[in-house]
Structure 1
Amino acid sequence: MNVIIYCRVSSDEQAEGTSLDYQEKSLRAYCYNNHYTVVACRKEDFSAKHHDLCRPEMKWIYDYCKRNKNSVKQILFLRWDRFTRNAEFAFTYIRKFSEIGVSVNSIENPIDFNSSDWSTLIGVYCGSAQAENSKISKRTRDGIRETLLKGKCANKAPRGYINVRTDKHSTHVEIDESKALQIRSIFKEVAKGLETPCCIRRRIAKNIPESSFFDMLRNPFYIGKIRVPAYKDEPMQIISGKHEALIDEATFGKVQEILDGSRKKLPKLSKAINPDLFLRKFLTCPVCGHSLTGATSSGNGGKYTYYNCSHNAKHLRVRAEEVNEGFAKYVSCLKANKAIMQLYTEILKELQDDSKKELKNEEKKLKEELSRISQRMDNTEDKYLDGELNKEQYSRIIERYKKEVLTLEQRIKTFQTPSRSSIEPKLEYSICLINNIDRYLRDAPVSVKIKLIGSMFPEKVEFDGKEYRTNSYNKVLDLIYQQTNELRGKKKESGENFSTLSASVPRPGVEPGWK
């Protein structure tokens, strides 16, 4: 009689008595003793707990028997829990195989299908295994929830953190500094609201899949909290975790507002922006406080672009070129402090030198670890050749080592990226930008202008048709520039006029002003 033998084992069922090699050996011995001819041996090496109806090897067996009717009489396996732990699956495939003249059975727990009690026995064998699976699943869910309620991470730590084992049964979560810098940068960029999150991901986080990227932005784990999912009658909870926060709550809150679409303080680059009206929504009307908008109109044989109040055009209407030039002069009052800039340059170069040393040390450690794993792979191969390991054990160990080698090689490659080698071009560009903000506002692409203004002024700038003033600007400007009071539009008691539209020549002295 021709038969097909079927072996199955899941990743968490590698105990003695259930390995694939043991099952095949037992099945072949049974077939030899009963003078059965083995047509094929098919093996499933993954868990089918949630994918019983999608098993590729079982599907292959069924398709083979259907194509070659009467060539195979029986499907044999070790025990019924090796066939399935789902009673519904068992009854379905017993029926499907019987329709094409093939029977299925276990060699350790054979069932007489001519008896009227066979369905009861199937329910006992497969139903008890299914009940055990359900119990294990419930105990696991309860254990995970209990861990989460204690403020601990129950699974693999999110990107930017790392699981650290304290003893055999306990772990805690620490910040992974090698990835934390990128995570902080991502949240800060998204919080600005100047680019869509997708653009930011493509620019600075190509290594993070899009779905994982948005899950990361929504995860309260980064502000030191744990999300406990709803369970039975208990609602979803957010509780304080025992790990260190990676992102401050203010930044995280801004990111949530942007993702929800409720934050509309700054213009976004999702739509094309008129290069002549790049100050729209950055400026507010002094009469009603609404943002300025603008449009281009035709008249007198030409086209003219104006800024006007978005609420009532009668409140304010000024030619766009005058507003843009005036704003460039307004920010040109900021003169960089030479001593600060020199210190800034020296510190960055020193930090780069330190960073290079750290990167070289880290690269050296990774190469040493790579060498150790290569030696382990050689030792494993020797053990396999000496018969100390069977084929299944050898394949599993080598596969694990190959994954570790691939990860290490990718990390070593990141340390050898040429873009990390020099900071001088970026430093030169930064200093040029700081010293020539007004030139960038006149000549740079509109996307650069918007990013630059957005980084300087987190809130709106009031414009009354002649002067600009703001009560809020990036406090980093106080560290770089000599005088920032000009941004508030304040005037000296002596009556000097500081309007940036009325003059353009700076007077001598430490504090910038206008004649």
Structure 2
Amino acid sequence: MNPHLTDFAQRNRKNPHRPTEEILFIKWDRFSRNIEYAYQMIRMLRELNVQPMAIDQPIDLEVPESIVMLAVNLSIPEAENSRRGRTTSDGMRRARKLGRWPGRAPIGYTNRIDSDGKKHIIPKLPEADYIKWSFEQLATGGFTISQVRKMVCTKGLQCSKNNFWKLIRNPFYCGIIRIPANHLEEIQFVEGIHEPLISQNLFQQVQLIINKDRNKRCINDHLKYLFPLRGFLFCPWCDRKLTGSVSHGKSSKYPYYHCTGNKCRGRFRAEMLNNSYEEKLRKINIRPEAYELLSFVLEDGNIFTCRRQYTDERKNILNDISKQELHISKARKFFLDEKIDFDDFSKLKKEYNEILKQLSKQLNSITQKIIDCDLKNGTWPDKNFTIFQPYKDLDIKGKRDIINLFTPTSFNTTTLNFDSLKINKALSQIVEYRE
């Protein structure tokens, strides 16, 4: 209800014996376009001793026959409004079937009007790059939806949790427009004329991942971090593989590696075994004679490869900057030739300058990365470098890859210290174990 009408009703209820007043409006379609709500409002106004009155369509509500005219005057606006709404809905549906997107552009895109008056949407930087990055991270399967949303929000994307969940399920970003079902047609998917941000294969891959049981996935990911050695340890009594679980105490939770056998009661504190393994990694160093070889491998495989990648990205950004400057030049020429007015020119210039600003930030960032690569060229960790140093900074997948190369063997059931590590045969040529 209109707040002014609410105040009016409250004032009139305090003075029920005030003289009759009238509310004036031009026609009944200005009073209401919903016949149900109109009758409800007329009844409320009568209780307040107020008479609604249309200037161009006067009706005396005290005459019984006027009820018919009132019903006609109230039903016609509702019918016109419904017809107008259906016409608009059908027009939007026809536009979607042609691959066009009617209405406001989704996140990552912006609405544009060409100099000839045609409307279309184009990717909006840097939001488009953030959305593409989000799909790529989800496709790896290493992050949950919430984790990716938090990471991309730190990059600069402004998107709520609900909108992000809708975003990653929207086929619009892979070039597909969804046409909702109605009473005549089923749901349809057509190829849009806009520029997609991701490929259809990437979109389908992400859908397969996010449609799994997310709660179960989050719990499993959490347990993996607590039990990096699960699957590599064997029970010292029955020689079965040890699994991991969390025991709930009165005031805290305690992770344990335990045997999978029904009769075996082998249980070992996960924290102590994890610490024991990390102590073993601290004693594994790279052989001095392997430093020079690994230095060349690092330069060729990491630094130079990254530098080439950053150089290609810098080249693409410079090309995009040149295109935007060309667009500004064309817009200026259209304005001088009086093909567009000053307002359209100002809007185009503001939009292009905003894109140039974002591209300049990306160019500065990628240039700094290239400088960092040049500074790292030829560098290598000191001679005190141990395998534990990269291990502690890796995610659970990286840690398990290292465990697969430096596999723990048996351990003391009392002290929970590992007896030794089984080192990969190839790695044993370039690393050494020091007590």
Is 1:241 aligned to residue 205 of structure 2?
no
Where in structure 2 are there 5+ consecutive unaligned residues?
235-240, 248-253, 332-342, 410-421
Aligned partner (choices 244, 253, 263) of residue 294 of structure 1: 244
**Aligned counterparts of 2:19 and 2:388: Cα–Cα separation in 1:** 84
What TM-score, normalized by structure 1, do the two folds share?
Answer: 0.55
> Is 1:220 paired with 2:152?
no
Would you say 1:208 and 2:159 are equivalent positions? Answer: yes
Superposition TM-score, scaled by structure 2 size: 0.64
How far apart are residue 364 of structure 1 and its match?
10
> What runs of 5+ residues in structure 1 fail to find an aligned partner?
1-53, 286-290, 298-303, 370-396, 398-402, 467-498
Does 2:397 correspond to 1:443? no
Contact 2:303 2:376 in 1 (8 A): no
Give yes or no for contact 1:326–1:500 (8 Å, CA) kept in 2. no
RMSD value, Cα: 5.6
Whichever residue aligns with residue 77 of structure 2, its letter is A
The residue number in structure 2 matching 1:479 is none
CA distance in 2, matches of 1:432, 1:150: 56
Aligned pair partner of 1:338 in 280, 293, 299: 299
Q: Which residue of 2 aligns with 1:185?
A: 133
Residues 336-389 of structure 1: per-residue CA shift (max 9 Å, x gap): 441354434644775787799799999999xxx9xxxxxxxxxxxxxxxxxxxx
Compare the two structures and name the one with the higher helix fraction.
Answer: 2
Task: Tell me: higher relative CO, structure 1 or 2? Use CA pairs within 8 A at least 6 residues apart.
Answer: 2
Cα distance in 1, alignment partners of residues 286 and 182 from structure 2: 56
Question: Does the Cα contact within 8 Å between 2:242 and 2:260 map onto a contact in 1?
Answer: yes
Q: Which amino acid aligns with 2:392?
A: D
1:94 to 36, 42, 48: 42
In structure 2, the residue matched to 1:159 is 107
Give the Cα–Cα distance (whole angstroms) in 2 for the partners of residues 350 and 440 of structure 1: 29
Q: Give secondary structure in 2 for the equivalent of 1:271.
A: helix
> Deviations for 1:246-304, whole angstroms, at most 9, x for unmatched residues?
223343233223322258998768636555x22548x799xxxxx9733699xxxxxx9
Change (3 A) 1:194 1:330: farther
Separation (CA, whole Å) in 2 of partners of 1:109 and 1:159: 47
Instruction: Name the amino acid aligned to 1:227.
Output: R
The correspondence of residues 66-465 of structure 1 with structure 2, limited to 5 A, is 66-69=13-16, 70=18, 73-165=21-113, 170-205=118-153, 207-262=158-213, 271=222, 275=226, 277-280=227-230, 293-294=243-244, 335=294, 336-344=297-305, 346-347=307-308, 420=365, 422-423=368-369, 438-444=387-393, 448-450=394-396, 452=398
Q: Give the partner amino acid of 2:12.
A: C
Instruction: Give a deviation string over 1:201-238, Cα, whole Å, max 9, x none.
Output: 12222511111111100001112212111111422223
Alignment correspondent of 1:500: 423
Change (3 A) 1:202 1:220: same
Amino acid at match of 2:29: D
Offset, 1:186: 0.9
Residue 441 of structure 1 and its aligned partner are, at CA, apart by 4.3
Aligned pairs for 1:466-477 within 5 A: none
| 1:258/1:268 CA distance change after superposition, 3 Å | farther
Deviation at 1:168, TM superposition (A): 6.4
Q: Deviations over 1:294-322 (max 9, x none)?
A: 3699xxxxxx99868879999xx996568
Distance 2:408 2:263 in 1: 13
Is contact 1:222–1:247 with CA below 8 Å preserved after alignment? Answer: yes
**In structure 1, how many angstroms separate the alpha carbons of the residues matched to 2:386 and 2:95?**
52
Question: Does the C-alpha gap of structure 1 residues 114 and 198 become closer, same or farther in structure 2, counting only changes over 3 Å?
Answer: same
Indicate the percent of aligned positions where both proteins have the same amino acid.
24
1:104 shift after superposition: 1.1
Q: Post-superposition shift, 1:102?
A: 1.2
- 2:412 alignment counterpart: none
The farther-off stretch of 336-345 and 180-189 is: 336-345
d(CA) in 2 for partners of 1:221, 1:65: 53
Could you tell me which amino acid in structure 2 is paired with residue 191 of structure 1?
Answer: A
SS in 1 for 2:120: strand
List, as ranges, runs of 4+ consecutive aligned residues in structure 1 with deviation greater than 6 Å: 263-270, 304-314, 321-324, 326-334, 351-365, 406-419, 428-437, 460-466
C-alpha separation in 1, matches of 2:201 and 2:285: 30
CA distance in 2, matches of 1:175, 1:77: 46
Aligned 8 A contact 1:90 1:122 in 2: no
Are residues 90 and 439 of structure 1, via their aligned partners in 2, closer, same or farther at CA, if it must alter by over 3 Å? same
Structure 2: distance between partners of 1:121 and 1:433: 91
SS of 1:293's equivalent?
strand
C-alpha separation between the residues in 1 aligned to 2:215 and 2:183?
38
Amino acid aligned to 1:105? M
SS class of match (2:110): strand
Preserved contact between residue 125 and residue 355 of structure 2 (Cα < 8 Å): no
